Amino acid sequence: MSNQTLEATVDPELVNKWIEEIGSGVPAAVPLLQAIQGEYGYLPRDAMDLIIANSDINASQLFGVATFYAQFRMRPVGRHLVKVCHGTACHVRGADRLNTSLNHILNITDEEEDTASNGSYTVEDVACVGCCSIAPALVIDDDIIGNLSGADAQRVLKKHAKGCKEDLPGDTSKKKKAAQENSNEEARS
Amino acid sequence: MSDSKLEIIVGEGTCGRASGSTEIMGLFKKNAPDATIRTVGCVGMCHAEVMVEVIDGDGNSHMYGNVDKKGVTKILKFHRGEDEKPEDMLLSATDDPELEGGQYLTKQTRLALRNVGTIDPTDMEQYKARGGYSAIEKIIQTGMTPEDVIEQVKISGIRGRGGAGFPTATKWTFARGAEGDKKYLICNGDEGDPGAFMDRSLLEGDPHNILEGMLIAAYAIGASGGYAYIRAEYPLAVKNFDMAIQDATAAGYLGDNILGSNFCFDLKIKQGAGAFVCGEETALIASVEGERGMPRIRPPFPAIKGLFGKPTIINNVETLSNLPWIIDNGGAAYQAIGTEDSRGTKVFALAGTIKRGGLVEIPMGMTLHEMLYDIGGGSSTDKPLKAVQLGGPSGGCVPASLFDTKIEYASINATGAIMGSGGIVVMDEKSCMVDLAKFFLDFTQIESCGKCTFCRIGTLRMKEILTKICDGEGTMEDIDTLEELAEGVKQASLCGLGQTAPNPVLTTLKYFREEYEAHVKEQRCPAGVCKGLISHTIINEGCNGCSICERYCPVDCITGEKKKGETWVIDQDVCINCGMCVEVCNSDCILVE
């Protein structure tokens, strides 16, 4: 499945309401982008165009700001977002392994890609969530979870996926089980 | 004993919530509905979350750590007199001062953190009950002039806690004297240093204290507008501070004619969007103005021409958190703590391979050794400590041989590291210092705003060389080039980010040069970290053939027959040395070398 299906449909009224509430001058650029990303999970081009058309912020200023700050994302995001903390404490305690193991269970193999092919989860690196004493840590949607091994990260994701009925494309235990059942059935028939 | 006499306090900072405090809170409410149940910020013992304190009818306090669902029942049974004391969870108790957790707190001097972990941060009355807002009341009701306030801060000797250590009173004097119809005060809560969480805990755990600190600073410099610049990654800090602004405004501490005086101060929150360079004053100002957060050439200094062209002072969260205490107790009382070079206390965030990690506040002049061992409890692994990294990407590492160094600006600078904002990452022998230097260069290179060439290109070249060395392709000449580049970037960069970016490289080269040389000459990573220089093999004698490594291997390079340990092998051509197998192996039979 391509990630195009994750592209958001922008509600112009909502964007215009933000411009009205937050402001239409340059100092409003960051908060406006934060509002958009808060709603859609990323910065859809349509929303950016609306701001450029309906505020005093021009395209170069808006894109300049959007591409400068690490928080902003220009690509569509999965239905759920996993942020893996890569602060110093998390790094020395094996944060890389959390990425390896999450990418494995989500079957994300392309280095350029960060979203599972079924659009379920996006795995993003973040600089530091400030929970260094419980390193390594990750954030799923809004929940911070710490003291994780690579295997724990998979367990946490499986639990989360079960709770919101998402499939994990790289979850071989399920596949193997299914394959086992299939072969059993074949044997029976 | 009846529950109604019990006061149960649950730590609900970000660390606590991450460890499940919300669930524990719910269980106490359900199982002990008659008890007084309160929520507080993080007391700092993050290693022992979820933390619960129970105060009984006689006023005795028992502090419990690592409390889980079963722990809730055990704690309640003990305090109802139905069961024995749950010793395994007990961290400290007022009737037993020898307990480890008690030591963790008694060896500290908590001024900035005086309320954190004690009060409910969302309840202004609790802050007031602990003497909150008395400093601003004292200033206004006793008619202290801005100059009087600056004088007290000058006597205190406090230096900016954001990292650079510039005397706070001196900075204020510039802005006080600057011409301008409007002046701004900004609270710098853009704690971008990976490995630091002092500002987060302060903002989450005692937001009114920071707010009062801002009022004092604004009064001193004559500012009528203020911004609290807080990282978007700290949602709880933003929420608690926002509530503090609303409550303080309703109570007349914020807004127009504060406490009936002519002093007016309007305060807004500005959320950062993830840029390390925005910790730099002029970059932060650019960011508040809505621009890319790029530093500007100084002079003019922000104190003269800052936000929207107006005189602006930017103070760090921790600096601000000390101000109410200084005004309440007088500058001299603060000056009496610490050393000649560095007055007062400093908050540190201890993390890494340390037994009792968390937030600690110590009097300046304590040695690193005392902080790491007496408070932190030493190494959390079976390996001894090797070094600490102070001050994050701008700082440097201090080797174990220098742990007798006093924590004060001059002594720490002498080691090549910096005091920094207070992030301390502790490392044992399993940490590779070359990998650490590469990690920081990776970080600063990405975070470099790109304005000046030395920082933009210099950090990239340094990172390339470090990557080469970590991959086992470095030469001895590379080490010399690295050193030369480091000096160049340090001298020629425009702002603090570039000027300090080489510090991790320079200090690791200074103290751990042999590790660099082992990577180059022997093609060996002594700590077993650098992926290009290690390999994973199965020790078949120890293997029981459980196949768990096969299941977790992300590249399917482990094969063998179930229950036959002797058959298991790792395909070296496919293996990416990620270490998953080592982590999951139940019989410790994967060799990394």
The full 3-state SS of B154-171, as one line of letters, equals HHHCCECCCCCCCEHHHH
A184 burial via Cβ count (<10 Å: 0-12, 13-18, 19+): exposed
Q: How many domains is chain A built from?
A: 2
Tell me what the mean pLDDT of segment B51-79 comes to.
93
**pLDDT reported for residue A2:** 45
- All residues of chain A having their beta carbon less than 8 Å from the beta carbon of residue B580 are 97, 100-101, 150-151
Query: What's the half-sphere exposure (Cβ side, CA atoms, 13 Å) at B418?
Result: 21
Residues of A within 8 A of B196 (CB-CB) are 128, 130, 132
pLDDT on residue B147? 98
Contact A114, A108 (CB under 8 A): yes
B480: containing domain: 433-521
Give the pair of three-digit tokens for residue B21: 């405090």
B115 occurs within a structural domain: no
User: Would you mind telling me the total number of residues written for chain A in this entry?
Assistant: 189
Which of B18, B291, B425 lies at the smallest CB-CB distance from A88?
B425
Residues A108 and A165 in one domain: yes
Computed over every residue of chain B, the mean pLDDT equals: 94
ipTM: 0.89
Q: With CB atoms and an 8 Å threshold, state whether A91 touches B292.
A: no
**pLDDT value of position A174:** 59
Query: For B39-59, how does the pLDDT look when each residue is reduced to its tens digit (9 = 90+)?
Result: 998 888 888 889 999 999 888
Q: What is the pLDDT of residue A183?
A: 64
Interface check B357 vs A, CB under 8 A: yes
Confirm or reject contact between B445 and chain A (CB < 8 A): no
Q: Does A72 touch chain B if contact means CB atoms closer than 8 Å?
A: yes
Q: What is the DSSP string of A101-162?
A: HHHHHHT---TT--B-TTSSEEEEEES--S-GGG-S-EEETTEEE-S--HHHHHHHHHHHHH
End-to-end CA distance of chain B: 59
Nearest to B19 among A69, A93, A134 (CB): A134
A-chain residues near B358 (CB < 8 A): 133
B245: helix, strand or coil = helix
CATH number for the domain harbouring residue A145 = 3.40.30.10
The answer to whether A27 faces chain B, any CB pair under 8 Å, is yes
Tell whether B227 is within 8 A of chain A (Cβ). Answer: no
pLDDT in tens, B26-43: 999 999 999 999 999 888
Are residues A57 and A91 part of one domain? no
Query: Does residue B574 belong to the interface with chain A, where contact is any CB pair within 8 Å?
Result: no
Residue B347, SS3 per DSSP: strand
- Contact: A71, B274; criterion CB under 8 Å: yes
**Listed residue (B403, B400, B466) closest to B436, CA to CA:** B466
Give the H/E segment covering residue B423.
Answer: strand B423-428
pLDDT tens digits, B501-545? 999 999 999 999 999 999 999 999 999 999 999 999 999 999 999
Which of A92, A144, A151 lies nearest to residue B17, judging by beta carbons?
A144
Cβ within 8 Å of residue B42, ≥6 positions away: B11, B13, B14, B15, B16, B49, B51, B116, B117, B201, B204, B205, B358, B359
Tallying the residues shown for chain B, one arrives at 593
Q: Give yes or no for a contact between B355 and B365, defined as CB atoms under 8 angstroms apart.
A: no
B423 contacts A132? CB cut-off 8 A: yes
Section B326-350 average pLDDT: 96
pLDDT in the model for residue A1: 43
Q: Calculate the alpha carbon distances from A123 to A112, A131, B563 in Å.
A: 12, 18, 35
d(CA A92, CA B412) in angstroms, rounded, equals 23
Residue A118, domain member (yes or no): yes
Ranked by mean pLDDT, the top range of A168-177, B101-110, B449-458 is B449-458
Could you tell me which chain B residue has the CA closest to the CA of A29?
B290
The verdict on residue A38 lying in a domain is yes
Last residue of a domain, one of B334, B369, B390: B334
Q: Does B578 touch chain A (CB under 8 A)?
A: yes
Regarding whether B362 and B277 lie in a shared domain, the answer is no
- Answer for the pair B343, B337: CB distance below 8 angstroms, yes or no: yes
With CB atoms and an 8 Å threshold, state whether A92 touches B392: no
Domain count of the fold of chain B:
5
Q: B252 and B149 in one domain?
A: yes
Residue B300 within a domain: yes
* A87 shares its domain with A13: no
Residue B581 lies in a domain: yes
CATH number of the domain enclosing B566? 3.30.70.20
B297 touches chain A (CB under 8 A): no
**Residue A40 structural domain:** 7-68
Average pLDDT, chain A: 91
Taking the Cβ of residue B556 and every Cβ of chain A, the question of whether any pair is shorter than 8 Å is answered with: no
Query: A27 to chain B: which residues are within 8 Å by CB?
Result: 288-290
Residue A151, in any domain of the structure: yes
Higher pLDDT, B456 or A177: B456
Query: What CATH number is given to the structural domain containing B446?
Result: 1.20.1440.230
Report DSSP letters for B180-203, one per residue.
-S--EEEEEE---STT--HHHHHH
Same domain for B57 and B167, yes or no, is no
Would you state the torsion angle of the CA atoms of residues A63, A111, B529, B564, taken in this order, to the nearest 10 degrees? 150
Omega within 30 of 0 (cis) for the link into A76: no
Domain check: are B187 and B327 in the same one? yes
Residue of A nearest to B431 (CA): A92
